[in-house]
Structure 1
Amino acid sequence: MSKVIAIANQKGGVGKTAVASNLSVGLAMNGKKVMVIDADPQGNLTSSLGIDNADELENTLASFIEREIMEEQIEPEEYILHNEEGVDIMPCNIKLAGMDYMIMNALSREHLLDAFVSSVRDEYDYILIDCSPSLNLVTINVLTAADSVIIPVEASYLSMAGLQQLLASIGSTKRKLNRKLQVEGIVINKVNTRTNHEKDIIGKLREAYGSQIKVFDVMIPESVRAKECTAFGVSIYKHDGKGKVAKAFEELTREVLEHGC
């Protein structure tokens, strides 16, 4: 039975996709069987893991949801692609952007993705789901299917301000739709500790949330090399395996593994 982890934050630009792609490859490098689901219409996770021309793919999360609503017979294998770094992928593209209206009128609309996750979870140790930066019906589907949530945040006041809203949304989903949902932890991303401003915010974040929620010990540093990974369609381990960001993701992977499946 796999552990299903959503990577979520309602604020954009905090590095959700980088966390999802590099953590998934890190888990695979530790001998775990890993699948990722791209639930962001931008398809950045899909391209980050080396899948080209995402907008031309027929079998994506959007087409799965459409067929699930129509109650068609679906073989999960049709929707799974394979990455050369050892991660399986359910891809996504821009077609997902128009799915909320269709989902809104569906029976059991919050559980559409859970149907897919339930059909494959026995085959994996971890399933990671990269969310879009909005609390739409697709994201609600992700939170309903997940066991826990990793929340990437930047060391900025705006990021901290949005965190409480996200935690309230997770709490609401837990009460109404998914009793098992937990917050796996907050990971501080894109960090530049040379500035007193960021050091101050990091201290405030750990003080405000550390007693209630795990704040991962490791912080992911900001790096140009990390930003280049998406363009090359590879993880940080392949692009700059000896760099500081790769070392940080190795530590994040270790902390996640300590929680177990």
Structure 2
Amino acid sequence: MPSRTDPNTERIDPQPDEQPGRPVTERPSVMAEPDPAAAADAAGQVTVSRETDAPLARQLRDQAERRRVVAATEVSRPDRPRVLTVANQKGGVGKTTTTVNIAAALAAKGLRVLVVDIDPQGNASTALGIPHHAEVPSIYDVLVEDRSLDSVLQECPDVPGLWCAPATIDLAGAEIELVSLVARESRLARAVQQLMSDRAGEDRFDYVLIDCPPSLGLLTVNAFVAATEVFIPIQCEYYALEGLSQLLRNVDLIRKHLNPALSVSTILLTMYDARTRLSAQVADEVRSHFPDQVLKARIPRSVRISEAPSHAQTVMTYDPTSSGALSYLEAATELARRA
């Protein structure tokens, strides 16, 4: 008959060859208590895992709240069309990317938006999915051939309410051809004013965003003369600050001699990397010098933002759930609310 055993031990019954009355041996049970050190390690692993997941959970909650706020924020049409030149003489700061994504975000809010691409590279036209080969009527025809701006407009296939005046390779020679023309600095301004007078009511554009080349030639001068506001994207790196000071001096020259109504109204921090101290320092310095112009929204470094143009799309349509699309939507909403 089996003997009664302690719960933590297994008693060995006497074998046939064991003599009665001989001491019974005990051995640890297979179900022995776990080693305290192993238990501590296991607990430590769980703690580390939870700590690792916490920042991601906070980030997801933060993004969900930001989406809720921006979706609930309504924007109204401005009293009159706002014409903004998106400019920065330093290349690679996200100027064209900012132009097309802000335009798409404004259109997503129900506003009518026009992008005027005067960069000979035509990157804004590409990002909006607009054909801009040599035979397409373009902004070149407006500046050099006196064609009406309305006659070269094309609607973006992916974003209702967003239109584009494309740039073709012909624009590369426009700098030289404009030199000999009458009123060479104000030809784009005249075309934009004519467009605004032809379109009224629900058919008028609420925002006109002009994408400039990264230089101060006649094309950029035309953009400054045509606009009333300058929109400056600034990359969160040291060299961007040097380019900003030169740009501001040029804006002052344009204001004094060609367009007294021009002002720097908006500055957007782009390519912000929260992992680096430099990005925070540049952001703080820009905000301290331009507290009224810098948008609270800032654009992070994002793979989705970089990938979108290769698919002839803005990030707003390429991946609307990405952090980059959310940031541009916040920036566009803030821009519209400032009107």
- TM > 0.5 between the two? yes
Q: CA deviation at 1:127?
A: 0.6
Q: Does 1:101 align with 2:176?
A: yes
SS of 1:139's partner is: helix
- Measured in 2, the distance between the counterparts of 1:75 and 1:160 equals 38
Q: Secondary structure at the match of 1:128?
A: strand
- 1:70-89 Cα offsets, whole Å, 9 max, x none, are xxxx3433211111202111
SS in structure 1 at match of 2:133: helix
- Aligned-partner Cα distance in 2 for 1:178–1:129: 16
Residues 26-64 of structure 1: CA deviation (Å, up to 9, x unaligned): 111111111110010000000000024x23333111122
* Corresponding residue number in structure 1 for 2:66: none
**CA distance, structure 2, for counterparts of residue 124 and residue 153 of structure 1:** 26
For the aligned residues, what is the CA RMSD? 1.3
Larger radius of gyration: 2
Instruction: Name structure 1 gaps, 5 residues minimum.
Output: 69-73
Q: Report what 2:62 is aligned to.
A: none
Q: Is the 8 A contact 2:102 2:328 kept in 1?
A: yes
Alignment CA distance shift 1:75-1:142 (3 Å):
closer
Distance in 2, Cα, partners of 1:256 & 1:199? 22
Q: CA deviation at 1:234?
A: 1.3
Match of 1:165 in 2: 246
Q: CA deviation at 1:255?
A: 1.1
Unaligned 5+ residue runs, structure 2? 1-79
Task: Choose the corresponding residue for 1:183, options 264, 271, 276.
Answer: 264
Q: Distance in 2 between matches of 1:112 and 1:77?
A: 14
- Structure 2: distance between partners of 1:76 and 1:235: 23
The corresponding residue for 1:17 is 96
Shift of 1:160: 0.5
Match of 2:16 in 1: none
Structure with more relative contact order (C-alpha pairs < 8 Å, separation 6 or more) = 1
> Given the two structures, how large is their TM-score scaled by the length of structure 1?
0.93
Counterparts of 1:219 and 1:9, CA distance in 2: 17
SS at match of 1:231: helix
Deviation at residue 259 of structure 1 after TM alignment:
2.0
- For 2:174 and 2:274, the matched residues in 1 are separated by 40
TM-score (ref. length: structure 2)? 0.72
**Pairwise mapping of residues 39-54 of structure 1 onto structure 2 (< 5 A)?**
39-52=118-131, 54=132
Equivalent residues, number: 252
Q: Does the 8 A contact of 2:86 with 2:212 survive in 1? A: yes
| Residue 78 in structure 1 maps to residue 156 in structure 2 | no
